[in-house]
Homo-oligomer: A and B are copies of this chain.
Amino acid sequence: MNSWKVYQETHKERFLSELLDLLKIPSVSARKEHNQDMVICAEMVKLRLQEAGADWVEIIPTEGHPIVYGEKIIDPTKPTVLVYGHYDVQPADPLELWHSAPFNPEIRDGKIFARGACDDKGQFYMHIKALETMVQTKTLTTNIKFCIEGEEEIGSPNLAKFVEKHKEQLKADVILISDTSMISMDTPSIDIGVRGLSYIEVEVTGADRDLHSGVYGGAVANPLTILSKMIASCHDQNNHITIPGFYDDVEEVSLEDRKKMAALPFDVESYKKDLTIDEVWGEKGYTTSERTGIRPTLEVNGMWGGYIGEGSKTVLPSKAYAKISARLVPNQSSAIITEKLIKYFTEIAPPGVKVVAKEHHGGEPYVTPIDSKGYKAAAAAIHDTFGKDPVPVRGGGSIPICSLFEKELGVKIIFMGFGLDSDNLHSPNEKYDLQNFYKGIETIPYFHKHFAG
């Protein structure tokens, strides 16, 4: 097995430089002006898969951004691993908070700083380099398929149709995803679940135009005040969510499982220090790890209205907007929660304003069992390279497509992520530690070895 390590050591500089090239492409799926960058990025992923040794690679158009499919079939009787990842990234703003340009990757203190460094270019690229390693060292013992999409950050609106249509082509024995994090390099962990997502945008309209706040203020409803009241009403004093029926389908986690979670290493003081906050916040009766792992949440992701420029303007705005999303836990349905959110915001609108709430993307929660062949292979691989067993944890993020994959392809998903919670995903100064990148490339071949049995 040492041949992997030797090969990777020899080529590590090139691996990194290829990743940096990939990070230079501003493949922001949410913004139309980057549509051309999305195509360029897909082309680069295709090329890298071909170079790594895939024997069939194609770019498959969708109604949105294209999907890159690749495969290396060594023997149809061997187990097949389907690697899922995404080459699209979140928007980079607010740009002024980045210490280096988001699409001009910079290495500082052994970390790659760039939008997409960890989420998910740096992570799916480990799989391409692991493929290359196994091909070059002639040690590949599984078939590998790649499905690298370009719309994960906007809710994978076209992936379901793609998976349904290409069921046969995507057929595999396990789905392997590196798009999550581990507790730390000292405490490797495997996510056994991702949360679901409901995402809505609320528009509140008062008068049909911006008004002078002196002439009309106090006499005409202010959409910002109304929207603030609506948002304020979504959590009670204990930070429970007040949307009617929100918790109806929530899976209650057993006391035993909660005890296990509580035993995991978590230092609230370091957590607070890392974020520069003097207190954590959240639903009464639950710990910080539980709040982000086993409980659903509701957050305002953006809000705006009126005059937001320099100085002051005495305006009574016509419109106020908010982007609001909920993270969902097992048994909650994204469609049902989205409907409840839209209903809530529409119905609590007082006279004097009009409210329109529309749906952005959603996704279902997903939990994977820890007694599956895939989980065991991942745990063994991590043990091989980290020297200790990984702990299973519930992740807070969402990968919208998971439940669909399981339903359509009938196999389990393994989340073998090498990021860290502190990697600033979706934030300015997103990073990925070089050691995590290399450790991932080192660990993945062991997964294939163990999965092949």
Q: Could you tell me if A305 and B302 are in contact, using CB atoms closer than 8 angstroms?
A: yes
A277 CB contacts on chain B under 8 angstroms:
206-208, 220-221, 352-353
A229 proximal to B (CB < 8 A):
yes
Q: Could you tell me if A310 and B213 are in contact, using CB atoms closer than 8 angstroms?
A: no
Q: Could you tell me if A311 and B218 are in contact, using CB atoms closer than 8 angstroms?
A: no
Q: For residue A266, give the distance in angstroms from its CB to the closest CB of chain B.
A: 11
Q: Could you tell me if A218 and B316 are in contact, using CB atoms closer than 8 angstroms?
A: no
CA distance A313 to B94 in the complex (A): 12
A276 proximal to B (CB < 8 A):
yes
Q: Could you tell me if B306 and A301 are in contact, using CB atoms closer than 8 angstroms?
A: yes
CA distance A152 to B109 in the complex (A): 51
Q: Could you tell me if B281 and A307 are in contact, using CB atoms closer than 8 angstroms?
A: no
A283 proximal to B (CB < 8 A):
yes
Kindly supply a per-residue 1/0 record for chain A positions 134-172, scoring 1 wherever the CB is within 8 Å of any chain B CB and 0 otherwise: 000000000000000000011100000000000000000
Q: Could you tell me if A352 and B222 are in contact, using CB atoms closer than 8 angstroms?
A: no
A374 proximal to B (CB < 8 A):
no
A214 proximal to B (CB < 8 A):
yes
Interface centre among A199, A299, A316 (most CB of B within 10 A): A299
- Among the stretches A50-58, A100-108, A319-327, A406-414, the one at the interface with B is A319-327
A350 CB contacts on chain B under 8 angstroms:
281
- Among the stretches A66-74, A383-391, A424-432, the one at the interface with B is A424-432
Q: For residue A252, give the distance in angstroms from its CB to the closest CB of chain B.
A: 16
CA distance A283 to B217 in the complex (A): 11
Q: Could you tell me if A308 and B303 are in contact, using CB atoms closer than 8 angstroms?
A: yes
Q: Could you tell me if A214 and B396 are in contact, using CB atoms closer than 8 angstroms?
A: yes
A211 proximal to B (CB < 8 A):
yes
Chain B residue nearest to A353 in the complex (CB) = B277
A199 CB contacts on chain B under 8 angstroms:
312, 314
Known contacts A301-B306, A310-B31, A312-B199; A231/B235 CB under 8 A: no
Kindly supply a per-residue 1/0 record for chain A positions 216-259, scoring 1 wherever the CB is within 8 Å of any chain B CB and 0 otherwise: 11111110110111011111000000000000000000000000
Q: Could you tell me if B397 and A300 are in contact, using CB atoms closer than 8 angstroms?
A: no
Contact of A225 among B299, B320, B426 (CB under 8 A): B299
Contact of A211 among B214, B296, B427 (CB under 8 A): B427
CA distance A224 to B283 in the complex (A): 17
Q: Could you tell me if B207 and A276 are in contact, using CB atoms closer than 8 angstroms?
A: yes
Contact of A307 among B280, B288, B302 (CB under 8 A): B302
Contact of A397 among B212, B276, B301, B304 (CB under 8 A): B212
Q: For residue A14, give the distance in angstroms from its CB to the closest CB of chain B.
A: 30
A80 proximal to B (CB < 8 A):
no
CA distance A175 to B297 in the complex (A): 59
A315 proximal to B (CB < 8 A):
yes
A39 proximal to B (CB < 8 A):
no
Q: For residue A127, give the distance in angstroms from its CB to the closest CB of chain B.
A: 22
A436 proximal to B (CB < 8 A):
no
A360 proximal to B (CB < 8 A):
yes
A292 proximal to B (CB < 8 A):
yes
Q: For residue A98, give the distance in angstroms from its CB to the closest CB of chain B.
A: 10
Q: Can you list the 8 inter-chain pairs with the closest CB atoms, starting with the nearest?
A: A218-B297, A214-B397, A302-B306, A30-B311, A279-B351, A232-B232, A208-B276, A221-B281
Query: Can you add 18 more A-B contacts, CB < 8 Å, to A211-B426, A217-B327, A313-B426?
Result: A30-B312, A93-B307, A97-B209, A206-B277, A207-B276, A211-B427, A212-B424, A214-B396, A215-B395, A215-B421, A217-B292, A218-B282, A218-B292, A218-B299, A220-B282, A224-B322, A302-B307, A303-B320
